[in-house]
Structure 1
Amino acid sequence: MDNKNITKILKLTSQLMELHEENAFKIRSYTSAIYSIDQGSVSLEDLDKEALQKINGIGKSIAEVIVQLQETGTHDYLEQLLRDTPKGLLEVLDIKGLGPKKIKVLWKELNITSVHELLEACQSGEVAKIKGFGKKTQESIIQSLEFMASNQGKWHYADVEEQVETLHKELVTLFGEDAVSLTGAYARNTEIIEQVEWLIKSDDRKNTLQKLSSLDDLHQDKKSSSPFTWRGKIGERDLSVVFFITSPSTFVNEQLLRSASRAHLLSPMDDGKPLGSFFKTGDFDSQEAAYKEAGLAYVLPELREGQFEIPLAKENKLPILLEEKDLKGILHNHSTYSDGKHTLKEMAQYCQELGYEYLGISDHSRTAMYAGGLDIDKVAQQQEEINSLNKEMAPFRIFSGIESDILVDGSLDYPEDILASFDFIVSSIHSSLNMNRKKATARLITAIENPYTTILGHPTGRLLLRREGYPIDHKAIIDACAENNVTIEINANPWRLDLDWRWVHYAIEKGVMLSINPDAHEKNGYFHMKYGVLVGRKGGLTKDMTLNAMSLKEIEEHFTKRKENLKK
């Protein structure tokens, strides 16, 4: 029961308390504790009641709840609230834009106790008739419900990675390394996973299927399985898994066919035939040999998407893809100056310990009051601390940046003299997200044309599986970045992964550099860099086109040159 799980349960408790209109003071005690845990750096695991009460924001009653969570995984008060709450309302609580108070109204006035009932009430127009809702809110709920339904059974790559890799090791132990191959979307490092697929080489299908069924973490769906295929779920997740059993003679063919997208397999060869047909009928010793016989350079699984890879493979011009070890620094990070969990010094020291040469700190700007955005005095205070730490930690360097909110008119939210005081600026949209394509594109281009914008942050504002991004004209945005020498962020947070990999190659073609940024709000957020690299690689990103693959000296010169150009 780590901090993350504790706060998750405390948040659910506070939501249910609001739903049942419990004492407001008691609710505030929960929200205060949640904030203290989120912002603090103390692990609550194994702390007793007395030690917990020494943490600011945690009183006696909350300390008792946390101790109970550590011992049982739940607590008495939560169980009481759950008994008084229709089970289906827990799903309704997950709907974006619907707080406990509005859900209470829907429950009591329309007897809505499930997502299905809510959708029916919206579609019949009943929700719009309730005071405080209206047609706009009703339509917003419908959109949220449809988005939730379309993402049912889908997972972030990062959420399933550990479980998949653990199972893969078990399979290798069971069948041998040469007999097991991950295929499908997971093998291509796709950001959203609906099903994990393995290919197993075997002459004895019956014995292989029996061995699979013996694994504790697998649960077979016998109705959808067959003598050649094992289908089911992994662990307690609603994550579908499938194992294809194939003979040694067709193992390589199946690897090729099952690890590529349909578009890749339909790509025409020089004789006009689809690549997939060639892979299906050929006799190959390895995947590398198959591509060679097809007259192509070897295409890595993550590139097999039918985008740009085949023409380049024909000319033997596939890029040498970026690797995590190529990155020299970490840009776009937050500290306790705004809404981060760790202090500036803690963030810098950990970055240095991980072997990086520099850190870019870019806390939220003053418009982002909800995230403790920096007013002008706070900017000066942070920059003074940065100067002090740079003397202390040399040759490691902290660059002074800010994540400046792009306002509705496209302007940034500080006067020019303050903008000029930063080493770099990440410009991002965080508010008024309900825009059409024309308005969103114009707003972003105005910010890109601002000479102080160094990096365009998470261009669409999307949260994968949770919130669709605002629609933008990607080509127009990328073209504007090319014209204004603005780098585009690949936000490495697994919930964002924005810029989408499908636009990385176009950016490279236009000469626009990309920056792999974790948007870290705590030290462990640095490890999200890995997922940004995976996304970049899918789009063909190279070391030369990655801003933070520059050495300390190179990026100092880059930032300095940009600032000098502002004075001309």
Structure 2
Amino acid sequence: MTNEAIVELLELTTKLLELHGENDFKIRNFQNAAFNLDKTTADLTTVPLAELSLLPGVGKSMASKIDEIRRTGTLKDLNDLLAQTPEGILDMFRIKGIGPKKIRVIWKELGITDTQQLLLACENGEIAKLKGFGEKTQETIHTNLLFLQSNSSKLRMDVAQVLAEVLCEALEKQFPTQITGEVRQKAEIVDLIQLVTAAENSAEVQKFLNTLEFVQQDEKASTPFIWRGKFLDRSIPVEVRISRPQTFINQVFIRSSSPEHLTQPIAHSTLLKTTLKEPHDTEEAIYAELGLPYLSPELRNGTDELSPESLQRLPDLITWEALKGTVHNHSTWSDGKHTLEQMARAAADLGLQYLGIADHSKSATYANGLSEERIYQQHQEIDQLNERFRAEGLDFHIFKGIESDILGDGSLDYDTDVLKSFDFVVASVHSNLKMTEEKAMQRLIRAIENPYTTIIGHPTGRLLLSRPGYPVDERKLIDACAANGVVLELNASPYRLDADWRWIPYALEKGVRISINPDAHHIEGYQDMHYGVAVARKGGLTRQMTFNTLTQSEMQAYLAQRKIG
């Protein structure tokens, strides 16, 4: 049991209470507890019951329910609600644009209890006829439901990585094993978890895999040298290829590279032919045989990575070690979990030289966005912390930023006098996401043209496997950034990875810097920059064109030069 698991159970209970029309007071109790505990730094599994009741949003009654969860792993209130709920209804909670109250109407009025019935009702026009719905709501439900269904057997890279590692660690106890495929190539969306293992007797691997309790074999799809199946609680397919020990590296290389990468002509041969010709001890040796430098798996995309220009850039590609600071982060001033000082010291502990704090702006009321008065108070705290760091001899600096909402007309969330008080501004769209491309571009370009905008944040608004984002003309957006000296964000959260790495070559061509921003809401969120670096490398991003490779003094000079008034 973890904090996250406890909060998830409280959130699910809240949704089910709304679904079943329970009284507002009870709903608010669970809602407030989940909201506040999601931000707490206390370890909910060990806090004494008496102290638990003193946490914000908890109280004695809710403390006893949390204690029940951590003792039993479940909650009677939740189990009672689940017993009254058709299983298919729970899947509807994943559909964007539809909450528990609307799901209740659909269930009670039309007797719909699963997503397939809901899809059919949308296509027949039944949803639009319900009171409080209409054609637009029906269209939103239909679009988002189709999006979810099309991605039902896929995983984000972070989730797929964890599952692949669990299986790899189990296999490694008996056989040499390597994660391959989309996971090793750092694909942002994974369709298939693949591994290669080595054994003289493939039947032994098959037998071992079938002893594992967390995977299940698809016997019809499997062959003597390929075990196919899935994780018991996931629909994503899993494939384990069994190689002879002497060809293990060859198979790992082939399964960690795109077909296009393997078949590009090189000196009257290809990487595939070279790999199949004889056993190799290392992947580096395969490249060396053709006179090529080693390309790590995330670069083997089959685009232009083997061109002379790309090969020349290899030593300059962005790495984690090259990052000097982190910008676009949140603290308890808005919806973050850790205080400003905790966020700063954690960044310093990682060896970074600066923290760009960019809490939410005032329009983001749902995220405790900062009023003008609170901005002034936060800036005072930043000044005090920076002075304290200097007194301690800590070479670390906090830059004053804001994640300003881009409003419906493309303007930013504060007037000029407030905007000029920041060192930098991340301008992002958070509301009214259902836009035509024309509307989205008007909104984004006006924000980019605002002289106070430093970075354009998560430019499509996508949430991978959950929300496709609004349509964007990437070339026009990058052209606008180039014309206005605005940095393009690569939001490193594995939920976003936005801008898409495929935009990077055009951004580099136009001289637009990319900022690998974790959008961290807690100190662990800094680690998301690993995902950002991985996909940035896929796009060929260099150290020189990465915004947050600037040193502290370089960043101060850059921001001072851009600052107006």
Category of TM-score, reference length = shorter chain:
over 0.9
CA shift digits 1:402-425 (9 cap, x unpaired): 111112222212122221111111
Give how far 1:250 is off. 4.2
In the alignment, the residues of structure 2 paired with residue 505 and residue 287 of structure 1 have an alpha-carbon distance, to the nearest angstrom, of 26
More deviation in 96-105 or 314-323?
314-323
Give how far 1:532 is off. 1.2
Q: Counterparts of 1:195-214 in structure 2 under 5 Å?
A: 195-214=192-211
Give how far 1:160 is off. 3.1
Q: Which amino acid is the alignment partner of residue 370 of structure 1?
A: Y
Give how far 1:502 is off. 1.3
Counterpart in the other structure of 1:10: 10
Give how far 1:468 is off. 0.6
Give how far 1:320 is off. 3.2
Alpha-carbon distance change, 547 to 62 in structure 1, aligned in 2, over 3 angstroms: same
Q: Among 364, 372, 394, which residue is 1:368 paired with? A: 364
Counterpart in the other structure of 1:383: 379
Q: Give yes or no for contact 1:296–1:316 (8 Å, CA) kept in 2.
A: no
SS at match of 2:173: helix
In the alignment, the residues of structure 2 paired with residue 336 and residue 250 of structure 1 have an alpha-carbon distance, to the nearest angstrom, of 53
Counterpart in the other structure of 2:513: 513
Counterpart in the other structure of 1:226: 223
Q: Give yes or no for contact 1:298–1:313 (8 Å, CA) kept in 2.
A: no
In the alignment, the residues of structure 1 paired with residue 260 and residue 373 of structure 2 have an alpha-carbon distance, to the nearest angstrom, of 54
Q: Counterparts of 1:96-115 in structure 2 under 5 Å?
A: 96-115=96-115
Q: Among 281, 285, 295, which residue is 1:299 paired with? A: 295
Q: Which amino acid is the alignment partner of residue 289 of structure 1?
A: A
Instruction: Give the TM-score normalised by the residue count of structure 2.
Output: 0.94
Q: Give yes or no for contact 1:297–1:316 (8 Å, CA) kept in 2.
A: no
Q: Give yes or no for contact 2:271–2:287 (8 Å, CA) kept in 1.
A: no
Give how far 1:400 is off. 0.2
In the alignment, the residues of structure 2 paired with residue 113 and residue 513 of structure 1 have an alpha-carbon distance, to the nearest angstrom, of 49
Counterpart in the other structure of 1:51: 51
Q: Which amino acid is the alignment partner of residue 325 of structure 1?
A: E
Q: Which amino acid is the alignment partner of residue 233 of structure 1?
A: K
Q: Which amino acid is the alignment partner of residue 470 of structure 1?
A: Y
Q: Give yes or no for contact 1:295–1:314 (8 Å, CA) kept in 2.
A: no
SS at match of 1:545: coil
SS at match of 2:5: helix
In the alignment, the residues of structure 2 paired with residue 32 and residue 423 of structure 1 have an alpha-carbon distance, to the nearest angstrom, of 34
Counterpart in the other structure of 2:179: 182
Counterpart in the other structure of 2:323: 327
CA shift digits 1:32-80 (9 cap, x unpaired): 1112212322221133432221223212321221111111111111111
In the alignment, the residues of structure 2 paired with residue 341 and residue 285 of structure 1 have an alpha-carbon distance, to the nearest angstrom, of 47
In the alignment, the residues of structure 2 paired with residue 492 and residue 315 of structure 1 have an alpha-carbon distance, to the nearest angstrom, of 25
1:501 aligns with 2:501: yes
Q: Which amino acid is the alignment partner of residue 164 of structure 1?
A: A
Q: Give yes or no for contact 2:313–2:542 (8 Å, CA) kept in 1.
A: no
CA shift digits 1:198-226 (9 cap, x unpaired): 12233322223223333444322222111
Alpha-carbon distance change, 185 to 132 in structure 1, aligned in 2, over 3 angstroms: same
Q: Give yes or no for contact 1:299–1:313 (8 Å, CA) kept in 2.
A: no
Q: Which amino acid is the alignment partner of residue 186 of structure 2?
A: N
Q: Which amino acid is the alignment partner of residue 143 of structure 2?
A: Q
Give how far 1:128 is off. 1.2
Q: Give yes or no for contact 2:165–2:179 (8 Å, CA) kept in 1.
A: no
In the alignment, the residues of structure 2 paired with residue 269 and residue 475 of structure 1 have an alpha-carbon distance, to the nearest angstrom, of 32
Give how far 1:284 is off. 4.9
In the alignment, the residues of structure 1 paired with residue 168 and residue 84 of structure 2 have an alpha-carbon distance, to the nearest angstrom, of 42
Counterpart in the other structure of 2:347: 351
Q: Give yes or no for contact 1:362–1:426 (8 Å, CA) kept in 2.
A: yes
Counterpart in the other structure of 2:235: 238
Q: Which amino acid is the alignment partner of residue 73 of structure 1?
A: G
Q: Which amino acid is the alignment partner of residue 190 of structure 1?
A: A
Q: Which runs of 5+ in 2 are unaligned?
A: none
Q: Give yes or no for contact 2:198–2:242 (8 Å, CA) kept in 1.
A: yes
Instruction: Give the TM-score normalised by the residue count of structure 1.
Output: 0.93
Q: Which amino acid is the alignment partner of residue 211 of structure 1?
A: F
In the alignment, the residues of structure 1 paired with residue 139 and residue 262 of structure 2 have an alpha-carbon distance, to the nearest angstrom, of 40
More deviation in 499-508 or 24-33?
499-508
Give how far 1:317 is off. 4.3
SS at match of 1:236: coil
In the alignment, the residues of structure 1 paired with residue 482 and residue 309 of structure 2 have an alpha-carbon distance, to the nearest angstrom, of 26
Give how far 1:278 is off. 5.5
Give how far 1:457 is off. 0.7
In the alignment, the residues of structure 1 paired with residue 56 and residue 202 of structure 2 have an alpha-carbon distance, to the nearest angstrom, of 60
Q: Which runs of 5+ in 1 are unaligned?
A: none
Alpha-carbon distance change, 437 to 269 in structure 1, aligned in 2, over 3 angstroms: farther
Q: Give yes or no for contact 1:296–1:314 (8 Å, CA) kept in 2.
A: no
In the alignment, the residues of structure 2 paired with residue 229 and residue 197 of structure 1 have an alpha-carbon distance, to the nearest angstrom, of 10
Alpha-carbon distance change, 77 to 559 in structure 1, aligned in 2, over 3 angstroms: same
Counterpart in the other structure of 2:552: 552
Q: Give yes or no for contact 2:361–2:405 (8 Å, CA) kept in 1.
A: yes
Q: Give yes or no for contact 1:504–1:540 (8 Å, CA) kept in 2.
A: yes
1:95 aligns with 2:95: yes
CA shift digits 1:504-559 (9 cap, x unpaired): 22222322211111111122222222111112122122222211122111111111
Alpha-carbon distance change, 383 to 297 in structure 1, aligned in 2, over 3 angstroms: same
Q: CA RMSD in A?
A: 2.1
In the alignment, the residues of structure 1 paired with residue 533 and residue 313 of structure 2 have an alpha-carbon distance, to the nearest angstrom, of 20
CA shift digits 1:308-347 (9 cap, x unpaired): 2021378654343222122121111111222222222222
Q: Which amino acid is the alignment partner of residue 371 of structure 1?
A: A
Q: Which amino acid is the alignment partner of residue 215 of structure 2?
A: L
Counterpart in the other structure of 1:430: 430
